[in-house]
Each structure stands twice: as structure tokens, then as C-alpha cells.
Amino acid sequence: LFRGIQLFLGASGMITLAVGALGVANIMFLSVTERTREIGVRLAVGATPSTILWQFILEGTLLVALGCTFGIGLSYLTIATLNQLDLPEWLGTPIITSASIIGSLLITTCLALCAAYFPARRAAHLTPVLALSARG
């Protein structure tokens, strides 16, 4: 029973990570679309595609870093609340290990970089003339 619960929670966590990565990618694509003219101006005045690429990757990474900070804080709050409850002994004591934090941060960072890369690449490959003529 306990192993089944662990598998279910693991699968739920993986699905949540995938949905989160899609959310980051969606936000980044929207950001690129809304800022197409700004990107065009920057490219026209001398910004390199590499600069544009790294700008959007950094923005995506910062977005995920804020989410991770909030998530870790919420996790500690949840664990503190659960430890105050009188839980059955067979459930054990809920804890957050440093290995689980490091593992989840590494996985989330990799997903965030992948989710931010493709919109950033799209922004970096815009041509200034087309970007400046875009609506938005």
C-alpha cells in the first residue's frame, strides 16, 4: 500500500513538473510575441542574437527560481503543519531531505532551461525588419 502511494505521488509530481515546464514555455513564447518590436529595435541598434537568446533564457530561469523559492517555502510550511498533526505511526514522520531538494531543483532547472530555450531561440532569430513591422 505504502509503495503504491509513493508511486502515485511520484507520477503526480512528474506530471506536475511537465505541466509547469509547459507553463514556463507558454509564458516565454507570449513574452517573445508581445515584445517582438522591442526585440527588433534591439537587433537594429546592434544587439547580437546571442544577447537576445541569453536575455530570454535568464528571464525564464528567474521565473522558475521564484517559483522554486515559493515551492520550497510552501513545502516546509506543509511539513511543519503535518508534524503538528497526530498522524498514524505507519505513515512515519514527514521530512524534507536535502537530497530531495537538490534533486528537485536540478530537475526543475533542466526543465526550465529547456522550456526557456526554444522561445529564446525564436526571439534571437527574428530579423529586425520583420520584428519592427510586427503588430504588438
Radius of gyration in angstroms for the set of CA atoms belonging to the chain, rounded to a whole number: 20
Neighbours of 15 (CB within 10 A): 10
**2-34 vs 49-84: helix axis angle to the nearest 10?**
150
Residues ≥6 apart with Cβ < 8 Å to 92: none
Q: What is the pTM of this model?
A: 0.76
| Spatial separation of the C-alpha atoms in residues 128 and 5, rounded to whole Å | 53
Per-residue pLDDT tens digits of the chain, which is 136 residues long: 678 888 898 889 889 888 988 888 898 889 888 988 999 999 999 999 999 999 999 998 898 889 889 999 999 999 999 888 887 787 778 788 899 889 888 888 888 888 889 999 998 998 888 888 877 5
